[in-house]
Amino acid sequence: MKKHLLSLAVAASVLIASGCQEKPQPQPTGTIETLPAQSFKREWGANLQLKGDSMDRLFLVEDMVFAYTKKHMAYTLNKKSGVVRFATFLTDSMVPPHPPVVLKDRIIFPTDSTLEIYLRDGRFERSYKTSASLRTNAVGTPNGSRIYFGVDSTGPGRLVAVETIPGQYRPVNQKWELISTQGAPIYSAPAVLNDVIYVGFADGYVYAVNAESRAGIWSTPTGQTFQTYGPIEADLRADDFGVYVPSTDSKLYCLDKTQGKIKWQYYAGASLINTPDVTATMVYLPVRGKGVVAIEKTSGPFNREPKWIAKDAVRLVAEDEKYAYFHRADNVVIAIDKATGEQRFTSKRTDLVAFATNTRDGMIYAATRDGQVLAIAPVLKAGNVGEMALDDARPIEPVAMN
């Protein structure tokens, strides 16, 4: 009850601040100037005015940017304008909440033991207590209403499917669960594509099942599964080209999504515990001791070799036609030439502590510890007019929340 009273208080402050109307895009606060090529332009900035709190993580999902704080507040911002749609307190738990899941009509905030269910306009709908503590991040069907995640249990780990829309005579409820045939734990979040769920377990087995019925869809030498030679700990990814499985056996497997056969594999020489970021043409894989390995997705030999390695990179933050952008451990943003792997330019400020991963275009979303959220566009040609974004750390004026 405490957290929902706080959510109502936050919602009330949002309505008072916004006057119940959409606010204009936050205006630049620095100097408008002609920008040189290989620089960064501020598209918008939103100051969340965190008091006694600090920024923790940033996520980009569809047309929304989600900002999570250390004290478990979640702010939902408009991707194009930076206007705050709503803010809410998620959990009293010491365990940080999981990334949000956006469904057709709802936004789900998974905590360690509940699903906090909101309508897309920010209205709180209900809190669903899960059958066991969440072990993994969650995924959902973007055009549907189900959510999938792994849970702890006294026996083997389980993947569970929860229907978030109640029927006329029943509450939100669990529809089915999947247990590995070997009774192994689950550490890896599943991937969802169309009506199929792909999930890996700690025994190295990967399953592809129908999202509605749980029926297996692969016919492989091991039955309805594919097997790696080590536990799967990193989250899976899937797109129209394939299913991407990083394994602690040191290989990244790209599997045929309909048959479960290997399309290509990359041998990293180190246990893979980080999730790859997959774009239209590339796979960016963080590898301990190496940096981020860039692998061509759609062409190359069966045993892939890196196109290049960004040794100082920690994680992809954005990609455009010419460059891939990463953040380093010191919070500097670096631009890597996609054709050659050479570092072309970097940011100067180092106060950005949270970055979203954008696999669709070159817009960079980042935030400072005190709650300044920025949308930053790389400038590739000289002559653009705007406000420099990553050369210093100018404060941003507070913006009304909507």
**Can you give the C-alpha Rg of the chain in angstroms?**
22
The string of pLDDT tens digits covering residues 70-80 is 999 999 999 99
pLDDT at 165: 85
Largest CA distance in the chain: 63
Q: What is the pLDDT of residues 337-389, one digit of tens each?
A: 999 999 999 988 889 999 999 999 999 999 999 999 999 999 887 555 444 45
Q: pLDDT tier at 397 (50, 70, 90 boundaries)?
A: low
Residue 230 lies in a domain: no
What mean pLDDT is predicted for residues 127-141? 94
Q: Does a structural domain hold residue 357?
A: yes
Predicted pLDDT of residue 142: 83
Based on the structure, what is the number of domains in the chain?
Answer: 1
- Res 18: pLDDT: 34
d(CA 248, CA 253): 11
- 139 vs 364: CA distance, rounded Å: 23
pLDDT of residue 17 exceeding 60, the answer is: no
pLDDT at 209: 94
The band of 221, judged by pLDDT with boundaries at 50, 70 and 90, is low
What are the residues facing 355 on neighbouring strands? 366
pLDDT at 155: 75
For 221, residues 6+ apart whose C-beta sits below 8 A from its C-beta are none
Residue 154 in tokens:
């006294």
Q: How far apart are CA 100 and CA 96, in angstroms?
A: 12
Mean pLDDT of 75-101: 97
Tokens for 298?
């759609």
Average pLDDT over residues 316-344: 96
Percentage of residues of the chain with pLDDT beyond 70? 83
CA distance 295 to 301: 11
Indicate if the pLDDT at residue 316 is higher than 60.
Answer: yes
Q: Is residue 187 in some structural domain?
A: no
The model's pTM is: 0.88
Question: In this predicted structure, what is the pLDDT of residue 178?
Answer: 93
* Integer Cα distance of 126 and 11 in angstroms: 16
Q: Domain range for residue 344? A: 1-89+312-402
Give ∠ CA 35-61-12 in degrees, rounded to 5: 95
d(CA 142, CA 253): 25
Question: What is the mean predicted confidence (pLDDT) over 142-171?
Answer: 84
Q: What is the spatial distance between Cα 188 and Cα 233, in angstroms, rounded to a whole number?
A: 5
Q: What is the pLDDT of residues 178-196, one digit of tens each?
A: 998 888 999 999 999 999 9
pLDDT at 383: 52
- Mean pLDDT computed over every residue of the chain: 87
* 182 domain-assigned: no
CA distances from 362 to 26, 241, 307, 379 (A): 20, 22, 20, 10
Residue 217 counted as domain residue: no
What was the pLDDT predicted at 131? 87
pLDDT of residue 382: 59
Q: Residue 332 falls within a domain, yes or no?
A: yes
Question: What is the rounded distance in angstroms from the CA atom of residue 232 to the CA atom of residue 249?
Answer: 8
The mean pLDDT value for 312-335 works out to: 96
* Residue 317 belongs to a domain: yes
Class of residue 365 by CB neighbours under 10 A (exposed 0-12, middle 13-18, buried 19+): buried
pLDDT at residue 8 is higher than 50: no
Q: Which residue has the higher pLDDT, 158 or 19?
A: 158
Mean pLDDT computed over 22-27: 45
Both structure tokens of 394: 């100018």
Provide the CA 272 distance to its chain's centre, in angstroms. 18
Q: For position 9, what pLDDT does the model report?
A: 45
